């Protein structure tokens, strides 16, 4: 991913927030030199320290066929891609020129070392994943006794994976190169429900980068 100074970020707090808001990741490996990808939810297990990302870890789970297709083994390096809000920005919002369309995006590329988990570790990841995504519900789903045998049987076809992040790069491209008045018009367009390119999630991401917007 190209590092453009206006948009590049190494802010660990930003990365933690992105992983929490958008926990659906693309995991890329290259067994035998052939790029191969799968898509799975990830949980931020250890958020790392402010002095570096050495302790940053994620956990996920893959179906055993995915595990084998990706050629995963302890120590294998993978690329984890996490995308946040993104969308088209039309220059008709700018009232400023010359101008061309662009695409605003928040995305992180993480390089990670694989640790395959045993059956107990895999089950723990599955339980934590369900709990994480059910926690906001007024009556969250919990595995009851009559579900447990069924769930454990399904779990035999799954492999838990811990991803030890060794490096990462982020891009938070939110029209930082535009004058404040233009940014305000872009956000107004994104927040206009009558606009064909309305995108409230992208507008919220832009407001996070430009907190002084009206």
How would you write the pLDDT of the chain (214 residues) with one tens digit per residue? 878 888 999 999 999 999 999 999 999 999 989 999 999 999 999 866 654 545 799 999 999 887 788 899 999 999 999 999 999 999 999 987 788 999 999 999 999 999 999 999 999 999 899 999 999 999 998 866 567 788 888 888 999 999 999 999 999 999 999 999 999 999 999 999 999 999 999 999 999 999 999 9
User: Residue 16's closest CA among 84, 93, 96?
Assistant: 84
Query: Does 22 map to a domain?
Result: yes
Q: Is residue 131 part of a domain?
A: yes
Domain-embedded: residue 158: yes
Q: What is the CA radius of gyration of the chain?
A: 20
131 C-beta neighbours (distance < 10 Å), count: 14
- Calpha distance 126→143 (Å, rounded): 11
Residue 197 lies in a domain: no
Over the range 36-51, which residues count as b (16 or more CB within 10 Å of their CB) and which as e?
eebebebbbbebbeee
Q: Residue 31: inside a domain, yes or no? A: yes
Range of the domain at 16: 8-174
Q: What's the CATH number where 168 sits?
A: 2.30.110.10
User: Whole-model pTM above 0.75?
Assistant: yes
Is 74 contained in some domain?
Answer: yes
Distance CA 77, CA 147 (A): 36
213 falls within a domain: no
Q: How many domains does the chain have?
A: 1
Q: Nearest-CA neighbor of 50 among 16, 95, 73, 98?
A: 16
Phi, psi for 104 (deg, rounded to 5): -90, 145
């Amino acid at each position: 991913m190209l590092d453009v100074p206006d948009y590049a970020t190494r802010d660990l707090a930003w990365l933690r927030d992105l992983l929490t808001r958008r926990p659906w990741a693309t995991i890329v490996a290259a067994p035998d030199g052939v790029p191969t990808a799968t898509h799975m939810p990830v949980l931020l297990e250890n958020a790392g320290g402010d002095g570096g990302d050495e302790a940053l870890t994620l956990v996920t789970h893959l179906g055993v066929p995915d595990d084998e297709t990706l050629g995963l083994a302890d120590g294998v390096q993978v690329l984890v891609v996490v995308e946040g809000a993104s969308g088209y920005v039309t220059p008709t919002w700018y009232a400023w020129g010359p101008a061309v369309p662009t695409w605003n995006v928040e995305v992180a590329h993480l390089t990670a070392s694989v640790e395959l988990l045993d059956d107990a570790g895999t089950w723990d990841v599955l339980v934590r994943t369900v709990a994480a995504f059910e926690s906001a519900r007024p009556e969250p789903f919990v595995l009851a006794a009559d579900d447990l045998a069924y769930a454990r049987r399904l779990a035999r076809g799954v492999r838990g994976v811990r991803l030890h992040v060794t490096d990462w790069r982020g891009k938070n491209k939110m029209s930082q190169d535009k004058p404040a008045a233009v940014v305000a018009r872009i956000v107004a367009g994104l927040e206009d429900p009558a606009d064909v390119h309305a995108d409230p999630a992208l507008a919220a991401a832009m407001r996070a980068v430009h907190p002084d917007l009206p």
